[in-house]
Amino acid sequence: MDVTRTVDVLVIGAGPAGLAAAIAAREDGIGSLLVLERENAPGGILRQCIHNGFGLHRFKEELTGPEYAQRDIDRAVELGIEIRCGVTVLSVGADRTVTCVSPEGFQRLCAKAIVLAMGCRERPRGALGTPGTRPAGIYSAGTAQKFVNLMGLMPGRRCVILGSGDIGLIMARRMTLQGAKVLACVELMPYSSGLNRNIVQCLQDYNIPLYLSHTVTDIHGRERLTGVTVAKVDENRRPIPGTEIEFDCDTLLLSVGLIPENELTRGAGAEISPATSGAVVSDSLETTVPGIFACGNVLHVHDLVDHVSNESARAGHAAAAYARSGERAAEYWPVLDGDGVRGTVPQRIGKGGGSEVSLMFRPAGVFRKAACVVRCGGREIARQRAPIFTPGEMAVVRLPKETVAALDGPVTVEIERS
């Protein structure tokens, strides 16, 4: 197959991550730039997130999801960035060749640098192993959000939500505002996996009970869901007999985790982190495959879109630099997860680097009055205290460029209890 087009930087995905990366690359002077998007319009998941709360960090004002996305879309149009929608990417090669298909047909592209920004998907019911039949009325929270916000359809009238991820919490409020009765939000873990503000604004403000350390143990109904059984779980997450609660409902929404869309990443031969399910990247957000970068929720699932945009802009700048020079760090210091830390990104820092590095991770549990400590060669190089660390909120520790330049061994990130 012949290469039908060659570009300097190719971005896969036109959600908030892809748009931010493309804008950064264009602002760095990249003229030959192309963005490919599977959906029929840019904006990604933000198009269906009509609630506010976006942009507080980046724009210093509160926006809805579509408003946030439109700002980047407008900027991309202003910069003349080419965004091709309705394009499905089939493969990404280690040699940075991309095959894709669209209504115009099959195409093979080649790029000097590629930015992977495909986002993430919801974990389906099939991954849970919950007993019961397959009645209508069971949806992922994101699917229900699309039905309600974009299509004007109501999934049901009496609802139970399994999982306390942010989409599930937001849909508890949305379903209530649309006239449904949300009976409960059920969470397997002893803590919520969503932002604290969403617990307050979406559950507590509407008197929706949150059952921690509980799970759905049975699904009732054949043609249509008629109810679910919920039980308390022990420290090993096994249901405790005699703790069952029956809920009469016609809808079960699943908010049980997000999975980075990394099939293309794996196909390119990039190393995948078991902790994040995303690519292993350096401080420039370059994967283990030269010239292929990853950012946003395809790299690790974020809590705020503001963080997605900021991270992706760094990936865009790094891709632009690579497209011009083809240079990358020769050696790296590994970044390791210590006590209380899960999935630190980046996992590698280039030796001799002189730029500030932001280390992001999710705490492995709830820690009160603790500190995040970064060590190198046994000595402390950074410390950041917080009233509370929770898995629902990303923790960020910044290493100044002077500290990065002085690294002389592996870096370990851990949470130190008071």
For 63-105, write each residue's pLDDT tens digit: 999 999 999 999 999 999 999 999 999 999 999 999 999 988 8
Output the domain CATH number for residue 337.
Answer: 2.60.40
Q: Is residue 249 domain-shared with residue 265, that is, in the same domain?
A: no
DSSP per-residue codes, 358-393 = EEEEEESS-EEEEEEEEEETTEEEEEEEEEEE-TTS
Yes or no: say if 22 and 113 are a contact pair by the CB < 8 Å rule: no
- Whether the pLDDT of residue 129 is over 80: the answer is no
In this predicted structure, what is the pLDDT of residue 330?
A: 83
Task: Give Rg (Cα) of the chain.
Answer: 22
In what helix (H) or strand (E) does residue 265 lie, and over which residues does it extend? helix 263-267
Q: Do 297 and 242 belong together in one domain? A: no
In 3-state terms the chain splits into helix, strand, coil percentages (rounded to 5) of: 25, 35, 40
pLDDT confidence of 215, banded at 50, 70, 90? very high
**Contact status, residue 28 vs residue 317, Cβ threshold 8 Å:** yes
At 277, which CATH number? 3.50.50.60
The CB-side HSE value for 366 (13 A sphere, CA atoms) comes to 9
Instruction: Say yes or no: 164 and 219 in one domain.
Output: yes
Query: Does 382 lie in the same domain as 279?
Result: no
Is-contact 137 250, C-beta < 8 A? yes
Decide: 372 and 397 in contact? Cβ < 8 Å.
yes
Model confidence over 355-380: pLDDT tens digits? 899 999 999 989 998 999 999 988 99
Cα separation of 288 and 299, whole Å? 13
Token couple for 230: 């919920």
Among 306, 328, 350, residue at a domain's last position? 328
> Are residues 17 and 76 part of one domain?
yes
pLDDT recorded at residue 104: 84
> pLDDT for 223-242, tens place per residue?
999 999 999 999 999 999 99
Q: Determine the pLDDT at residue 184.
A: 97
Q: Residue 3 in contact with residue 97, Cβ under 8 Å?
A: yes
Tokens (6 digits) for 107: 């195409």
| Average pLDDT over every residue of 103-108 | 90
Which phi and psi angles does 48 have, rounded to 5°?
-100, 0
Instruction: Give the sheet arrangement for strand 138-140, strand by strand.
Output: 138-140, 251-254, 158-162, 181-187, 210-212
The four Cα atoms 131, 137, 142, 144 give a dihedral, to 10 degrees, of -170
pLDDT of residue 4: 84
Strand partners of residue 110: 6, 97
Average pLDDT rounded to a whole number, residues 328-344: 93
Residues 285, 368: one domain?
no
| Residue 3: per-residue pLDDT | 66
Q: Which two tokens stand for residue 348?
A: 């590698």
Same domain membership, residue 245 and residue 130: yes
Query: What is the rounded CA–CA span in Å between residue 41 and residue 46?
Result: 11
Check whether residue 129 and residue 246 sit in a common domain.
yes
Query: What local confidence, expressed as pLDDT, does residue 127 receive?
Result: 60
Answer yes or no: are the C-beta atoms of 319 and 8 closer than 8 Å.
no
The owner of tokens 């957000």 is: 285
Q: Which domain holds residue 129?
A: 124-256
Q: Are residues 232 and 343 in the same domain?
A: no
Do 9 and 72 share a domain, yes or no?
A: yes
CA 384/CA 382 separation, integer angstroms = 7
Would you say residue 404 has pLDDT above 70?
yes
Domain stop point among 300, 328, 356: 328
Give the largest Cα separation in the chain, rounded: 65
The per-residue pLDDT of the chain, averaged, comes to 93
pLDDT band at 354 (very low <50, low <70, confident <90, very high): confident
Query: What pLDDT is recorded for position 130?
Result: 74
Predicted confidence (pLDDT) at residue 292 exceeds the cutoff of 50: yes
- In terms of DSSP H, where are the helices of 4-151? 16-27, 65-78, 141-151
Tell me which of 282, 309, 328 is where a domain ends.
328
Residues 109 and 167 in one domain: no
Instruction: Identify whether residues 289 and 222 lie together within a single domain.
Output: no
Query: DSSP E strands: which ranges in 15-128?
Result: 33-37, 82-85, 88-92, 97-102, 105-116, 120-122
Percent of the chain with pLDDT over 90: 85
304, 46 Cβ separation under 8 angstroms: no
Whether the pLDDT of residue 266 is over 70: the answer is: yes
Q: Is residue 410 reached through a cis peptide bond, with omega within 30 degrees of 0 on the bond before it?
A: no
| pLDDT score at 125 | 67
Q: Is the pLDDT of residue 128 over 80?
A: no
Provide the number of structural domains found in the chain.
3
As a whole number of angstroms, the distance between CA 79 and CA 364 comes to 41
Q: What pLDDT is attached to residue 1?
A: 47
Q: 3-class SS at 224?
A: strand
Q: Which of 1, 42, 10 is nearest to 268 (CA)?
A: 10
Give the mean pLDDT of 201-218.
Answer: 96
Of the candidates 151, 161, 36, 156, the residue with the CA atom closest to the CA atom of residue 86 = 36
What does the alpha-carbon distance between residue 134 and residue 138 come to, in Å, rounded to a whole number?
8
